[in-house]
Amino acid sequence: MLHHKYIAIEGPIGVGKTSLSEILAKKLNARLVLEGAIENPFIHDFYKDMGKHAFQTQMFFLLSRFRQQQELVQNDLFQQGIVSDYVFAKDRIFANLTLDDNELKLYEQIHSILTGNVLKPDFVIYLQASTDVLLKRISMRGRKFENQITGDYLAELNQAYNYYFFHYSETPLMVINTSEIDFVHRDADLDDLLTHMEKVTTGTVYYKPVSVKR
């Protein structure tokens, strides 16, 4: 078992957050916490008309993630450990991209009230991929409502994520470019990742997969 008790995995849409979270949770016998994007009742309409449905979509995500965090605070889960496919603070990335000025002011007021009452991870993994790779992966997984995602929106989101984690310093951080990684089908990649995760205790580390090192 790693010394990290609460691991959060982040990255833009289609990068593989949920897949890696599921694998790590099983490997570490940890509780799996997923944000459940497809459970958001506004998400289908959001991708059809972002301007019209952004605020409802954003507020649903904010409040549902907050409820999940409250469950973690109220239960003694650290005996088992936690692996999550999101960082609560990243919610603001999407808010800044999609909300107008008045909506953003209201969102920020609510966010500031909630954020002090969430459980923070002690280790974060940021998964990166090019916009072209993200578009290909989104297409391959075949979620109908994601067909509306444009390359321009995804590129903007990708840039915002890179900016956010370039300035991130709240926890030890491992940055992984996922273009040549296959944690699902290559056990060596996963074992090498776990070995390097154990060594990260502070700062930011840029991980190079074992399959690329050969």
pLDDT at position 211: 56
pLDDT tens digits for range 178-197: 877 767 667 777 888 888 88
Query: Mean pLDDT, to the nearest integer, of 149-173?
Result: 92
Q: pTM, whole model, 2 decimals?
A: 0.90
Per-residue pLDDT for 139 more than 90? no
pLDDT tens digits for range 4-41: 889 999 999 989 899 999 999 998 899 899 987 778 89
pLDDT at position 75: 67
What are the residue ranges spanned by the domains of the chain? 6-209
- Percent of the chain residues topping a pLDDT of 70: 92
Q: What is the CATH superfamily name and number for domain 6-209?
A: P-loop containing nucleotide triphosphate hydrolases (3.40.50.300)
Per-residue pLDDT for 128 more than 90? yes
Per-residue pLDDT for 52 more than 60? yes
pLDDT tens digits for range 73-87: 776 555 678 999 999
State the DSSP string of the chain. Answer: --S-SEEEEE-STTSSHHHHHHHHHHHHT-EEE---GGG-TTHHHHHH-HHHHHHHHHHHHHHHHHHHHHHHHHS--TTT-EEES--GGGHHHHHHHH--HHHHHHHHHHHHHHHTTSPPPSEEEEEE--HHHHHHHHHHHT-GGGGG--HHHHHHHHHHHHHHHHS--SS-EEEEEGGG--TTT-HHHHHHHHHHHHH--SSEEEE--HHHH-
Catalytic residue among 49, 76, 85, 101: 85
pLDDT at position 213: 52
**Has 132 been annotated as catalytic?**
no
